[in-house]
Amino acid sequence: MRRPNRRSVVLGLSAALCSFGATPTFADTGYPNRTIRLVVPFAPGGGGDVIGRFYAQKLSDSLRVPVIVDNRPGASAMIGTDLVAKAQPDGYTLLLTVPLLVQTPHLYRKIPYDPFNDLVPVAELNTSPLWFASSATKNDAGSLKEFVTKAKAKPNDFNFASIGMGSSGHVLGQALNDANQLNMMHVAYKGSSPAMLALMAGEVSAVFLDYVTIKPQIASGKIRLLAVTGTQRSELTPEVPTLTELGYKGFEGKVWGGIFAPAKTPKEVVSLLDRETRKILAMPETIAKWRELGYDTGNKTQAQFAEEIRKDSARWGALIKSAGVTLD
């Protein structure tokens, strides 16, 4: 016997969307029934963009609607973040971002949104340390100790890059400056990919970056990994010491990548996205992909992730204050 035609629930959709068909989730809530936009506030090619595109495809497969990535780099990720904070709270505009979300309020007197009142955490995608990489094109330091010695000897020749003003790399670079009485100039880029290109070209001396951006360039000999954040050496680079074991304080934490939605997004939509994301993160191909990129899989519930973000805000606030980083 032929099953009833369920396409009546998708009247008004384009033919392209109709091809995805209906799902139990769709039938129960009416969401989603059209394209979802995932805003990534960084330039294409970097870690955030790579995981964004992988996640978007998996979410599209899961929800049976298109999920497109919209790169909106610039202004310490505030351009893309503000776009999502002011979007309709209907679940069709999402944000993939990093700790910049909670760092910028400690760096600027005024930002165009409140990260805690204008956005709601949906799911933690990944966590990761950051590697301190040096440009072999610009200097021949083989260890962090040698790098510091050379930077002290020729202070005008050394600078460091980041993915944006106030980013983790900016704050950590300034903290490294302060710990060693260095005066390296900070150079901000619109994402990890352009920052890495600058490092390889010798335009900058060093940078804190994620492994997905660094990995393809290690074999080139144009960069050297001198240290990594966190309390334990990474299995990906067991030969690289942690800043903690080298005697530096304040570099113990990891960074995260997460999904956010506009505040007032219906709770059932947020819960749905959280459940679907956790299913995606449990997939063997996702686990393998994250490991390949140097990420640990996010394992927090939505409530745990929200609490972690508040703690992270306090942690970064203290580090930013200690490093004396201000942007206005």
Backbone phi, then psi, for 161, in 5-degree steps? Answer: -105, 165
Residue 233 lies in a domain: no
> With bands split at pLDDT 50, 70 and 90, how would you rate the model's confidence at 79?
very high
What per-residue confidence (pLDDT) applies to 219? Answer: 85
**Rounded Cα gap, residues 307 and 200, in angstroms:** 38
User: Is residue 124 scored above 90 in pLDDT?
Assistant: yes
Do residues 39 and 91 both lie within one domain?
A: yes
Average pLDDT over residues 252-275: 95
pTM of the entire structure?
Answer: 0.77
Average of pLDDT values for 234-241? 93
Domain shared by 224 and 294, yes or no: no
How confident is the model at residue 4, as a pLDDT?
46
Burial group, residue 266, by CB count within 10 angstroms (0-12, 13-18, 19+): middle
Which domain-ending residue is among 213, 228, 243? Answer: 228
Is 246 within a domain?
no
Number of domains in the chain: 2
What is the C-alpha separation between 214 and 196, in angstroms, rounded? 7
Question: pLDDT, tens digit, for every residue of 178-221?
Answer: 999 999 999 999 888 899 999 999 999 999 998 888 988 888 89
Quickly state the pLDDT bin for 76 (edges 50, 70, 90).
confident
CATH code, 201: 3.40.190.10
Looking at the fold, whether 87 and 30 belong to one and the same domain comes out as: yes
Query: Could you tell me the residue range of the domain that residue 105 belongs to?
Result: 23-128+255-323
pLDDT at position 11 is: 34
Q: pLDDT tens digits, residue range 286-321? A: 999 998 888 899 989 999 999 999 999 998 898 888
Residues 116 and 149 both lie in one domain: no
- For residue 236, being part of any structural domain is answered with no
Looking up residue 272, the CATH number of its domain turns out to be 3.40.190.150
In angstroms, rounded to a whole number, what is the distance separating the alpha carbons of residues 1 and 3? 6
